[in-house]
Amino acid sequence: MQCSNVLSLANLTKIGRVVLALAVVLSFSNSANAAGDAVAGKGSYAICATCHGPAGEGNVALNAPRLAGQEPWYIDRQLQLFRDGARGTAPGDTQGMQMRAMAMAVAQPDAVANLIAYVETLPVTPAPATVTGDAAAGKTAYAVCAACHGQQAEGNEALGGPRLAGLDDWYLVRQLDNFKNNRRGYHASDVYGMQMKPMASTLATPQSINDVVVYINSLQ
């Protein structure tokens, strides 16, 4: 009795080790599939770097926002929106049109996953403040935004609201302007953009846009 208990315990330990080893292999391959191959992605990122910067830090002169720190699911969705013509096709959206051409060049799901995996390795540094406004007024205006973007603007994947903290303030201003003026959230397949569009309209003036962006910039 005692002996068989010891034996079965030894067997259980062995089985346990095999299960554990399998679990490690499986979780490794799962995460590799879901997250892509960052090493392969580094090669394709070279083209992106010409506008978004070698460390994904953004380039205001080229209108290209920082990508470092952005959530993988959100980057994936934006690349798809650009590819589908749900972003970057509205009249007057020069910047979106530039990016659309780039997104169309990377269509293979594997290539996209690899690129995103590489972007996730880029260092997250604070975005410099380039917009001026009233942070206290912005904080009041931000109360409605927090429902989908989080109290600290950290993002909310369940509601599809991207992280806003740490993004370039000039880029946030432009996107709010785009939503307000039908250059984003206009396409039937852009379900998330259409949710965001009426929210941008709660910011009545350019000053109120600046105020909320100054507050968001203070959250990083």
- Asked if 137 and 211 count as a contact pair (C-beta separation under 8 A), the reply is yes
Residue 114 Cα distances to 26, 79, 157, 175, angstroms = 19, 13, 20, 26
Per CB under 6 A, does 127 bind ligand HEC?
Answer: no
> Is the Cβ of residue 21 or residue 144 nearer to ligand HEC in the bound state?
144
Q: How far is the CB of 79 from ligand HEC (least distance, A)?
A: 6
**Which one of residues 90, 117, 167, 214 is an interface residue with ligand HEC (CB under 6 A)?**
167
- Asked if 75 and 82 count as a contact pair (C-beta separation under 8 A), the reply is no
Q: How far is the CB of 61 from ligand HEC (least distance, A)?
A: 11
Q: How far is the CB of 109 from ligand HEC (least distance, A)?
A: 14
132: left (phi over 0), alpha (psi -120 to 50) or beta: beta
The CA-based angle 112-114-117, given to 5 degrees, is: 110
Q: Which residues make up the interface to ligand HEC (CB under 6 A)?
A: 47-48, 50-52, 62-65, 67, 70, 75, 77-79, 95-96, 98-99, 102, 106, 115, 141, 144-145, 147-149, 159-162, 164, 167, 172, 174-176, 192-193, 195-196, 199, 202-203, 212
